[in-house]
Amino acid sequence: MTTTPTYHPLILPGPQAQAAHEGRLTEHRVALDPQPLDVIGYEYNGKPCWVAKTEDNPSRGKLIYPRLGNVGDRLFVQEEWWHRAPSPTNPRNEQAYNPQSRCVVWPTGERIEDCKPDTSEWGWKERDPAHMPRWASRTTLEIVAIRVERLQEISEEGAGAQGYPWGPGKRASPWKTAGEWFAFLWDSLNDNRGFGWDVNPWVWVPTLKRLEAES
């Protein structure tokens, strides 16, 4: 029996959103919240499970569940975008515009590539990525595996899989390695939340695959 996939939103900054669209973002780390003392992974009925030992339950621990979704779930990438509200007389006016891809899309799935609308016209407004609906997203990722590890266990290859925007054919990098870039990126997004690189937090690490087309 065919099951309907579950979708979750995933907000990404510009370079990572572009990497996801190009299929170069194949891992994405997110901190466990709250942070456990330790995490034990095991398999039950062929599925991965995790128990977190916490300060209030250090001996037995409790089951924890991936923040971004389970294996087989899909993530639609939310990023910088513009939205045109439908007019009272023409609901079809509702559109979304992605500046990176220069694409205009309608809720029906219709789209115009290599296009830049006049966003000074009535109804256009730059919106927060968190408000991007699935129909306006240009990139869908599938979770194909999940693991839990300490942040600093990341390898140079793993840092590159986070969407390192420099490489063959790209502009010169200000970072010596993908690992240095990722540590900077991580702190810019997580340090003020208490999950900085130096804290070496426990993180979820889903392995991702870009879907070429919805199914």
Domain span at residue 122 reads 80-132
**Domain limit, last residue, from 99, 132, 165:** 132
Q: Are both 94 and 64 inside the same structural domain?
A: no
In the sheet where 74-78 sits, what is the strand order? 7-11, 74-78, 140-150, 202-210, 30-31
Q: Are both 106 and 128 inside the same structural domain?
A: yes
Residue 182 has pLDDT above 70, yes or no: yes
Q: Are both 123 and 147 inside the same structural domain?
A: no
Tens digits of per-residue pLDDT, 154-176?
Answer: 999 999 999 998 765 566 678 88
**Domain limit, last residue, from 132, 167, 198:** 132
Q: How many domains is the chain partitioned into structurally?
A: 2
Write out the DSSP string of 114-180: S----TTSTTEEEE-GGG--GGG-S-EEEEEEEEEEEGGG--HHHHHTBT---STTSPPPSSSSHHH
Tens digits of per-residue pLDDT, 95-119?
Answer: 999 999 999 999 999 999 999 999 9
Residue 131 has pLDDT above 60, yes or no: yes
Q: Are both 117 and 171 inside the same structural domain?
A: no
- Note whether 192 and 31 are within 8 A (CB): no
Place of tokens 């990176």: 100
Domain contains 2: no
What's this model's pTM, rounded to 2 decimal places? 0.90
Domain contains 215: no
Q: Are both 126 and 159 inside the same structural domain?
A: no
Burial class from Cβ neighbours inside 10 Å (0-12, 13-18, 19+) for residue 56 reads exposed
Domain contains 33: yes
Pairing of strands 95-98, 81-84: antiparallel
Residue 215 has pLDDT above 50, yes or no: no
Tens digits of per-residue pLDDT, 24-60?
Answer: 999 999 999 999 999 999 988 888 899 999 877 667 7
Q: Are both 69 and 156 inside the same structural domain?
A: yes
Q: How confident is the model at residue 192 (pLDDT cuts 50, 70, 90)?
A: very high
pLDDT of residue 214: 58
Q: Are both 152 and 91 inside the same structural domain?
A: no
Domain contains 164: yes
The end-to-end CA distance of the chain, in Å, is 15
Q: Are both 53 and 153 inside the same structural domain?
A: yes
Domain contains 166: yes
C-alpha–C-alpha distance, residues 189 and 179, integer Å: 16
Q: Are both 54 and 156 inside the same structural domain?
A: yes
pLDDT of residue 168: 58
